[in-house]
Amino acid sequence: MTSAALVPLVVLLPLLGAAAALILGRHRRVQMLVSTGVLTAVAVIAATLLFEIDRSGTGVAVTLGAWPAPYGIVLAVDRLSAIMLIISALMLLGVLVYAVGQGVADRHRETPVSIFHPTYLILSAGVFNAFIAGDLFNLYVGFEVLLSASYVLLTLGGTGERIRAGVTYIVVSLMSSLFFLSAIALIYGATGTANIAHLSVRLAELPQEVQLILHLVLLIAFGIKAAVFPLSFWLPDSYPTAPAPVTAVFAGLLTKVGVYAIIRTETVIFAENDLTVLLMVVGGLTMVIGILGALTQADIKRLLSFTLVSHIGYMIFGIALSSVLGLTATVYYVVHHITVQTTLFLTTGLIERFGGSTSINRLAGLLAASPYLAILFFIPALNLGGIPPFSGFLGKVGLFVAGADVASGTDAAGEIGSGSSVPAWLIWAVIAAGALTSLITLYALTRFWNMAFWRGRDELEGYDSALLSSVQEAPDGGVVTATRTTPWLMVGATTGMVVLTLLLTVFAGPLFNLAGRAAENLREPSVYVSLVFPGGVE
């Protein structure tokens, strides 16, 4: 079978590429070719896998080292994994091209580029591994690989601010990893397996109270990684200091790996344990509190980090609905959010280079100075704010419709759990919170647009506006740098990402159908189980 042989390559290629890139550290052009080539290959493989899996309907499972399923390492790709693989591969590729453009322009500036490519590829390998991991421990290894690489990328260059931001991020991530590992140990002690498909069957046999404890420990670990509300404090402090491409990857992908893990936890691992009320409340709080944080930020990078936290709430809401439509909308929203958040951070990088600052108090006249940059910012900003007809609007509408269906009882939710126990008023409240969050996002982004793009350069001195009365500068005071050129490669990569967000809108119909088929598989944990255990679980 050809598609089964392709699965391990998704992880193997980036790792081998990283080794090659490290050896070729002195030959920068070859290094660039290696890393772009590897990511392109992974994107092609992911597309092939998605096509094959969508046609066959279930997925592909590979047991490594010829050890049978519950003992050996299993790589399992179903529709959800394949969707995540292709979108993350495309995004990583886009950001890599952007980073290459930046690296070429700022030769020997603050970042030692020779270690950027290998680390970036290792990060990719970790992300891909997490998406195809068939057992919890392999998922943990995937997380650790991507986190270790992210520590290096975040502290690249080792300047004071980056070390300071990096320490917060690293300590928090270490805590979540320890939580995750303890959860694996406890789950193994309770069930005698770490295989996700096996767990799906075995955990259901445990008493509800034991399930609840294990479920909560695992959710805390993933919640920290996904930056869900009470566990999200670390994110806005650590992401903005990194170089623009690094922030873009972190913002777009790393939290979504956590969201992916939560989807798996809720639909396959703890299919019989119901925590939907908790997730619903947490989702609503994540949206509102995150976006209120965004309102007071003067720095666009910090503002975007807060919207990132806030919009994780939408995905948690969709997972908590646990109806087919809810999960469909969640999958679509994850894809939308990966691309749009990455694109906005890339554009911010361009704004920083072009305008010399990221603070709303110092930027002005960008529309007149660079209309094209304005377009590159305007489209994803409206998209994130949920303006029709963009994908952000479609995803949110999907989530709200799914919520309304569940609340009014027209869609039987909770077939995953032991019957949905979410009261209808709570769902309506979270929908209201979602609509409010969408509006405030739009407000925060249009305020930035008004100031940075529409305000004239000459108005900057002594500008006074009620809009700016509540904003606060970043802790480091929003460093002003000299304006630099914006190389065509960076602009080209950003344009490519903007086009990708538009394609998500244009092809929303087929994509939504695909997400729907993925969600149907998710609603039936037995599909995943029979994928790994074709002969049934003993």
Nearer to other proteins, 140 or 314 (CB): 140
Biggest distance spanned by C-alpha atoms of the chain: 75
State yes or no: residue 64 binds other proteins (CB under 8 A): no
Of the candidate residues 164, 202, 362, 447, the single one contacting other proteins (CB under 8 A): 164
Cβ atoms of residues 228 and 312 within 8 Å: yes
CA angle centred on 404, ends 401 and 406, rounded to 5°: 110
Nearer to other proteins, 174 or 375 (CB): 174
Phi, psi of 76 (to 5 degrees): -125, 130
At 456 the three-state DSSP class reads: coil
State yes or no: residue 217 binds other proteins (CB under 8 A): no
Kindly state the smallest distance separating residue 128's Cβ from other proteins, in Å: 18
State yes or no: residue 22 binds other proteins (CB under 8 A): no
Kindly state the smallest distance separating residue 160's Cβ from other proteins, in Å: 5
Q: Which residues contact 369 (CB under 8 A, 6 or more apart)?
A: 354, 457
State yes or no: residue 537 binds other proteins (CB under 8 A): no
Kindly state the smallest distance separating residue 189's Cβ from other proteins, in Å: 4
List 78's β-bridge partners, or say none.
Answer: 59
Q: x/- string (CB under 8 A) for other proteins, residues 65-104?
A: ------x---------------------------------
Kindly state the smallest distance separating residue 154's Cβ from other proteins, in Å: 10
Of the candidate residues 158, 230, 371, 456, the single one contacting other proteins (CB under 8 A): 158
Give which of 149, 143, 146, 345 is closest to 241, Cα–Cα.
345
Q: What is the dihedral of CA 306, 350, 118, 247, to 10 degrees?
A: -10
Q: What is the dihedral of CA 441, 508, 524, 283, to 10 degrees?
A: 0
Residue showing tokens 């990684």: 225
Q: x/- string (CB under 8 A) for other proteins, residues 304-343?
A: ----------------------------------------
d(CA 103, CA 28): 10
Alpha helices in 203-250 (DSSP H): 208-226, 235-238, 244-249
Residue showing tokens 């943990």: 140
Q: How many residues bind other proteins (CB under 8 A)?
A: 27
Phi, psi of 18 (to 5 degrees): -65, -45
Residue 380: asked if its preceding bond is cis (omega within 30°), the reply is no
State yes or no: residue 525 binds other proteins (CB under 8 A): no
State yes or no: residue 4 binds other proteins (CB under 8 A): no
Nearer to other proteins, 233 or 428 (CB): 233
State yes or no: residue 178 binds other proteins (CB under 8 A): yes
Buried-exposed string 386-416: b where 16+ CB fall within 10 A, e elsewhere:
beeebbbbbbbebbbebbbbbbeeebebbeb
Kindly state the smallest distance separating residue 188's Cβ from other proteins, in Å: 5
Query: Could you tell me which stretch among 188-196, 219-227, 445-453, 456-464 binds other proteins (CB under 8 A)?
Result: 188-196
State yes or no: residue 357 binds other proteins (CB under 8 A): no
Q: Which residues contact 355 (CB under 8 A, 6 or more apart)?
A: 362, 363, 366, 452, 483
Query: Could you tell me which stretch among 50-58, 173-181, 409-417, 499-507 binds other proteins (CB under 8 A)?
Result: 173-181
Kindly state the smallest distance separating residue 260's Cβ from other proteins, in Å: 21
State yes or no: residue 447 binds other proteins (CB under 8 A): no
Burial of 198 from C-beta contacts in 10 A (0-12 / 13-18 / 19+): buried
State yes or no: residue 532 binds other proteins (CB under 8 A): no
Residue showing tokens 């079978």: 1
Of the candidate residues 42, 95, 130, 184, the single one contacting other proteins (CB under 8 A): 184
Nearer to other proteins, 198 or 264 (CB): 198
In the chain, the N- to C-terminal Cα span, in Å, equals 25
| Span 116-155, contacts to other proteins by CB under 8 A | 137, 141, 144, 148, 151-152, 155
Query: Could you tell me which stretch among 87-95, 99-107, 169-177, 270-278 binds other proteins (CB under 8 A)?
Result: 169-177
State yes or no: residue 36 binds other proteins (CB under 8 A): no
**Cα torsion 521, 525, 528, 529: sign:** negative
Kindly state the smallest distance separating residue 8's Cβ from other proteins, in Å: 18
State yes or no: residue 182 binds other proteins (CB under 8 A): yes
Query: Could you tell me which stretch among 99-107, 163-171, 396-404, 437-445 binds other proteins (CB under 8 A)?
Result: 163-171
State yes or no: residue 426 binds other proteins (CB under 8 A): no
State yes or no: residue 233 binds other proteins (CB under 8 A): no
Structure tokens belonging to residue 209: 């109270």
Nearer to other proteins, 187 or 312 (CB): 187
State yes or no: residue 368 binds other proteins (CB under 8 A): no
d(CA 293, CA 289): 6
Using CB under 8 A, list all residues that contact other proteins.
Answer: 71, 137, 141, 144, 148, 151-152, 155, 158, 160, 163-164, 166-167, 170-171, 174, 178, 181-182, 184-186, 188-189, 192, 194
